[in-house]
Structure 1
Amino acid sequence: MHVPDGFIDVPVSVAAGVVAAGAVAVSLRGARRELDERTAPLAGLVAAFIFAVQMLNFPVAAGTSGHLLGGALAAILVGPYTGVLCVSVVLLMQGILFADGGLTALGVNITVMAVVTTVVSYTLFRGLVKVLPRTRRSVTVSTFVAALVSVPAAALAFTGIYAVGGTTDVPIGKVLTAMVGVHLLIGIGEAVITALTVGAVIAVRPDLVHGARGLTAPLKLRVGGELVDAAPAAVPVAAAVAAGPGAGTGTGTGAATGTPAASRSPRRLWATGLVTALVLAGFVSFYASADPDGLEKVAADHGIDRKTEEHASADSPLADYGVEDISDARLSGGLAGVIGVGATVAVGSGVFWAVRRRRNGTAVSPSTGSAVGGNV
Structure 2
Amino acid sequence: MHVPDGFINAPVSAVTGVIAAGAVAVSLRGARRELDERTAPLAGLVAAFIFAVQMLNFPVAAGTSGHLLGGALAAILVGPYTGVLCVSVVLLMQGVLFADGGLTALGVNITDMAIVTTVVAYFIFRGLVKVLPRTRRSITASSFVAALISVPAAAVAFTFIYALGGTTDVSIGKVASAMIGVHVLIGIGEAAITALTVGAVIAVRPDLVHGARGLTQKLKLRVDGELVDAPVAEEPAPVAVAARSHRKVWISGLIASLVLAGFVSFYASANPDGLEKVAHDKGIDKKAEEHAGSDSPLADYGVKDITDSRLSGGLAGVIGVGVTVVAGSGIFWALRRRRTTDADPASTGSTPASASAPASASASASASEKA
Q: Scaled by the length of structure 1, what TM-score is found? A: 0.87
Distance 2:181 2:245 in 1: 43
Aligned partner of 2:226 in structure 1 is none
Distance 2:340 2:26 in 1: 14
Gaps of 5+ in 1: 223-228, 230-249, 365-370
- Amino acid paired to 2:160: G
CA gap of 1:42–1:372, structure 2 versus 1, over 3 A, is farther
Please state whether the residue corresponding to 1:24 is helix, strand or coil.
helix
CA gap of 1:189–1:221, structure 2 versus 1, over 3 A, is farther
- Amino acid paired to 1:212: A
Contact between 1:358 and 1:375, CA under 8 Å: does it hold in 2? no
Quote how far apart the aligned CAs of 1:374 are. 3.6
Please state whether the residue corresponding to 1:50 is helix, strand or coil.
helix
CA gap of 1:170–1:220, structure 2 versus 1, over 3 A, is farther
CA gap of 1:290–1:41, structure 2 versus 1, over 3 A, is same
Aligned partner of 1:153 in structure 2 is 153
Aligned partner of 1:127 in structure 2 is 127
Quote how far apart the aligned CAs of 1:220 are. 3.7
Contact between 2:38 and 2:242, CA under 8 Å: does it hold in 1? no
What's the % identity of the aligned pairs? 78
Distance 1:89 1:263 in 2: 28
CA gap of 1:183–1:313, structure 2 versus 1, over 3 A, is same
Distance 1:38 1:315 in 2: 40
Structure number, greater radius of gyration: 2
TM-superposition CA deviations, 1:326-369 (whole Å, max 9, x none): 000000000000000000000000111111122277546xxxxx
State how many pairs are aligned. Answer: 340
Aligned partner of 1:141 in structure 2 is 141
- Amino acid paired to 1:152: P
Aligned partner of 2:309 in structure 1 is 329
Quote how far apart the aligned CAs of 1:263 are. 2.6
Is the helix fraction higher in 1 or 2? 2
1:1-376 equivalent positions in 2, closer than 5 A? 1-213=1-213, 215=214, 218-220=215-217, 252-258=234-240, 261-359=241-339, 362-363=342-343, 372-374=346-348
- Amino acid paired to 2:283: G
Distance 2:204 2:159 in 1: 40
- Amino acid paired to 1:255: A
TM-superposition CA deviations, 1:241-278 (whole Å, max 9, x none): xxxxxxxxx963543244xx443111110000000000
- Of stretches 262-271 and 274-283 in structure 1, the one that deviates more from structure 2 is 262-271
Quote how far apart the aligned CAs of 1:209 are. 0.4
- Amino acid paired to 1:8: I
Contact between 1:361 and 1:375, CA under 8 Å: does it hold in 2? no
Q: CA RMSD in A?
A: 2.0
Contact between 1:51 and 1:90, CA under 8 Å: does it hold in 2? yes
TM-superposition CA deviations, 1:269-309 (whole Å, max 9, x none): 00000000000000000000000000000000000000000
Quote how far apart the aligned CAs of 1:373 are. 4.7
- Amino acid paired to 1:10: A
Contact between 1:74 and 1:83, CA under 8 Å: does it hold in 2? yes
